[in-house]
Amino acid sequence: MNQEELERLVNKSDRQLFINDLNTGFGLSQVEAEALYDRITLFNRDYYNSSRGPGQLTKTVVALGEPAGKPIKYCRMVSVNLTILHDEDIEIRQKYGIAAERRDKELRLCDEAIDQGGVLTQEDLAILLGTSLSTIKRDDAYLMKQGVSLPTRGMVEDIGRGVSHKTKAVELYLKNYTLSEIARKMAHSPSSVNRYLEDFLVVAFLHRESYPLLTIRKITKLSERLIKEYISLIERAESEGYKDRLNQLLDPFKINEPLKKTLVEGAQ
């Protein structure tokens, strides 16, 4: 796919069509239109989380916690909303190629399913992404070499969740990799890596302030699983030689009373 074709895909995305409408119909600048779109998207995520968003579909999958060897027809099932198309997919394809885009989607779909109490199989991923089971297996092997687990049903139920790609990205940043280096190494968009880092820093700040897990979850809107991974990374950072980097990142939070008040009010 050439540059012109990629640009056409960007311009036809739900996000860009909405932004164009705000530009032409309401006279908003590009920056204002993008900010308003992102604000509406966050509002819908926080208050209408059960509804499908743009680019999503609903799929019935095996519930998290069902043993890996149990036949699917006897397993408890749940419905989950999965993001098949995301604006960042095009950016990743443009920078790193189709295989990288597919692997990023696999990680995102597995994460979304787990966050909603379900778990995908490798066969589910093959069907959702219109590819072969052997391709998914090759992607899984590739990701394992990068130190990241693809949390499909067999992985999660047999040996546990493993390290998520979000935690891996943050760990690389704590080890002094730049955002662009991490994005290139993990074939993610820089905006995704930056978002992981921002979420991690809020968790780190709240954890150091001795907020309980339930409160951190309510404030950040992150899953309990990811928060626990981030807390484990904080403890590891303090014992494995990159505590200084963590402290440096948390410096802006030192004058924390106004921030604490804002975060607590946001959780109420």
More confident residue, 19 or 45: 19
pLDDT of residue 67: 81
- Tell me the sheet residues that pair with 83: 56
Check residues 255 and 64 and name the one with the higher pLDDT: 64
pLDDT above 70 (res 265): no
Residue 13 pLDDT > 70: no
- Has residue 161 got a pLDDT over 70? no
Predicted local distance difference test score (pLDDT) of residue 252: 74
pLDDT score recorded for residue 16: 75
pTM of the complete model: 0.67
Spell out the residues 6+ positions from residue 126 whose beta carbon is closer than 8 angstroms to its own. 132, 133, 135, 136
CB atoms within 10 A of CB 145: 7
**Buried b vs exposed e over 46-82: b needs ≥16 C-beta within 10 Å?**
eeeeeeeeeebeebebbebebeeeeeeeebeebebbb
**Mean pLDDT along residues 67-74:** 79
pLDDT for position 259: 56
Confidence of residue 233 (pLDDT cuts 50, 70, 90): very high
Burial of 94 (0-12, 13-18, 19+ CB in 10 A): middle
Does residue 210 register a pLDDT over 80? yes
Task: List the chain domain ranges.
Answer: 1-51, 52-159, 165-267
Q: pLDDT tens for residues 71-123?
A: 878 888 999 999 999 888 988 999 899 999 999 999 999 989 988 889 999 99
Q: Which pLDDT score is estimated for 260?
A: 57
